[in-house]
Amino acid sequence: MVVKGRVLVEGSAEGPLLRLTAPLSFWGGVDPKTGRISDPRHPQHGADVAGTVLAVPVPRGSSSSSAIMLELIARGIAPAALLLGEADAILALGIVVAGEMGHRTLPALQIGAEELAALPQCRIKVAADGTVTALP
Amino acid sequence: MRVRLAAAEQALLEGAHGPAAAMAMRIVSEAARLMGATSLVPVESAHLDGCLYHGDSGVHFAERIVELGGKVAVPTTLNVGALDFHHPGRVKFDPATAEMARRLMLASEAVGARATWTCAPYQAGHRPRLGAHVAWGESNAVCFVNSVLGARSNRLGDFLDLCCAITARAPCYGLHLDEARRATLVLDARDLSAELRSLDAFYPVLGAVLGSEAGSAVAAVLGVPKGTDEDRLKALGAAAASTGAVGLFHAVGVTPEAPDLDAVLGGVPAARTTTITPAMLRAARDRLSTAATADRIDAVAVGSPHFSAAEFRALAALARGQRFRVPFYACTGRAQLAEIEREGLLAPLKGAGVEIILDTCVVVAPILPPEAGVLMTNSGKFAFYAPANTGFATVYGSLADCVASAAAGRVKRDERLWS
């Protein structure tokens, strides 16, 4: 399966899909020291975002989520790629600032909600042109 | 789609005002591209949420801006920091973390922002006019400035707010535009009893429903009584911006852009109308309480968003003659504290056992007792964020419930109007 996303932040990456099944505020929801989802009410509570292709259908919550994204990147425990169901100037901005600060960035794509939902639970490859491939 | 920069903006980008302004302009124009904006809009003021310590990376960013000579170009206030400068030792960070938190606060002041240190800058003298374009961060502050004051800001992430303050520009999309300020949903609370809607504890719960119903959409809320004060609207918006990504709501007949339902819908039928039932409201209220035990409390916290002078007056009236058995934290900013000091309210509040937390708050910094337990609060935002940020379970109640419970040392809630 191959889908094409709008490139928010360019880059290529590969990793297992981690799909959020409920909105998640990174601030208060992801521990910036461990990369684990720390909101006890979230369905993916306890999951580790590091190295995953993180699918975020609906961004939510605090504007400090940019800072959590930057901190995850600076500590080397960020997702490998970010697939956003809606354009969002909060998480992607954390990646832009990380680039300004000389950190290695990660690709972020905007992908239609239906295509995002249709991605199978497997390893996902993200290419620099925004192509997303589900690996066998 | 390319972002078209005006000549002055292009000059900033090319370094005419120094390297910090150039870096800030790169980030602002990149944010515009991310959101599909084709231009920037001049802004009149800014409120910065980037002064709270989340890790060393944010400190390094702020210090880089300062080293490069960055200065804000518009009147700018600061959101909470991670330290209470007036009560050293109250925030229990290890020395290394406290030093980084302090460095971030100093860097935030060094760009020329006012040291307001509050998440309610709108109650500390920063009140943009109706229709003004501004660049604000912090979800409750953005919700208030849009909804209650009728100024225009998107929900800016940390860093972008600072970059907008330095460049006096914001990406022009979303809530800066008339079209995006129109309500697309209607939330009808008119079936709920007038008594329930007259309670302070109603508004955070209504906000929690609004956030989960609206997500990031703009909703028109029917049934908020005329003359509802701004502390209630503040509590409503803060809860809505926690459970959802609400940047603007219209309380029909109350907020400035909503004289009537037709005006906020702009002649377009609502995509969805939801009638709030008493059962929905009770369920939302119950979700704000996570404690497994029925009556235990270990601490009480109020002031998210930061307590206003009016809220302190209400607390002082309720706490008169009381002596609290558990720690009772009231979080506020310097301007609000100065007002109640002038009125002579501080001594009686402290006499009852109220601990003032200044410049910061109990869910963003380690202030609560080290043994996690049960935290009671009248704030939808505290109730939402406390479990993950502090390890405390929560009990939600009205301000009167919080005072009665703190005095009794166990949960006492007036349930009559909710049943």
Distances in whole angstroms, Cα of residue A109 to Cα of each of A37, B154, B174, B243? 21, 21, 20, 25
Using one digit for the tens of pLDDT, what is the confidence trace for B332-349? Answer: 999 999 999 999 999 999
Distances in whole angstroms, Cα of residue B312 to Cα of each of A69, B339, B341, B347? 36, 10, 11, 12
> What is the SS3 assignment for A8?
strand
Token pair in block for residue B258: 């909503």
Q: Which residues of B touch A109 (CB under 8 A)?
A: none
B73, B352 contact by CB (below 8 A): no
Q: Which residues of B touch A68 (CB under 8 A)?
A: 54-55
Distances in whole angstroms, Cα of residue B185 to Cα of each of B145, B182, B252, B315? 20, 9, 12, 35
Mean pLDDT across chain A, nearest whole number? 93
Instruction: Give yes or no for residue B419 having a pLDDT over 80.
Output: no
Phi-psi sector, B8: left (phi>0), alpha (psi -120 to 50), beta = alpha
Mutate: best of B159, B246, B286, B362, partner A, most A CBs <10 A = B159
Using one digit for the tens of pLDDT, what is the confidence trace for B271-297? Answer: 999 999 999 999 999 999 999 988 999
Q: Residue A27: its pLDDT value, please?
A: 85
Q: Residue A60: its pLDDT value, please?
A: 65
**Cβ-Cβ contacts under 8 Å for A120 (sequence gap 6 or more):** A1, A17, A134
Contact (CB<8Å) B56/A74: yes
B60, B157, B387 member nearest A66 (Cβ): B157
Mutate: best of B104, B140, B158, partner A, most A CBs <10 A = B158
Using one digit for the tens of pLDDT, what is the confidence trace for B51-93? Answer: 999 999 999 999 999 999 999 999 999 999 999 988 888 999 9
| Complex confidence, ipTM | 0.95
A43, A92 contact by CB (below 8 A): no
Edge-first strand order for the sheet with B272-275 is B249-251, B219-222, B185-188, B272-275
C-alpha distance from B180 to closest chain A C-alpha (Å): 15
Average pLDDT over residues B24-30: 97
pLDDT band of B1, cuts 50, 70, 90: low
Instruction: Give the count of beta carbons closer than 10 Å to the beta carbon of residue B313.
Output: 14
Task: Tell me the C-alpha distance between B298 and A104, whole Å.
Answer: 44
Using one digit for the tens of pLDDT, what is the confidence trace for B135-149? Answer: 999 999 999 999 999
Percent of chain B with pLDDT over 90: 92
| CA B61 to mean position of chain CA atoms | 23
Using one digit for the tens of pLDDT, what is the confidence trace for B265-276? Answer: 999 999 999 999
Average pLDDT over residues B206-225: 96
Q: Residue A90: its pLDDT value, please?
A: 86
CA nearest neighbour of B82 among B38, B49, B114, B45: B49
**Cβ-Cβ contacts under 8 Å for B89 (sequence gap 6 or more):** none
H or E stretch including A72? helix A65-74
Average pLDDT over residues B23-45: 96
> Is there a catalytic annotation at residue A66?
no
Using one digit for the tens of pLDDT, what is the confidence trace for B361-395? Answer: 999 999 999 999 999 999 999 999 999 889 999 99
Instruction: Give the count of beta carbons closer than 10 Å to the beta carbon of residue B385.
Output: 25
Q: Which residues of A touch B64 (CB under 8 A)?
A: 101
Average pLDDT over residues B201-217: 96
Beta bridge partner(s), residue B328: B300, B354
Using one digit for the tens of pLDDT, what is the confidence trace for A18-44? Answer: 999 998 889 889 999 999 999 888 999
Using one digit for the tens of pLDDT, what is the confidence trace for A57-81? Answer: 887 656 788 999 999 999 999 999 9
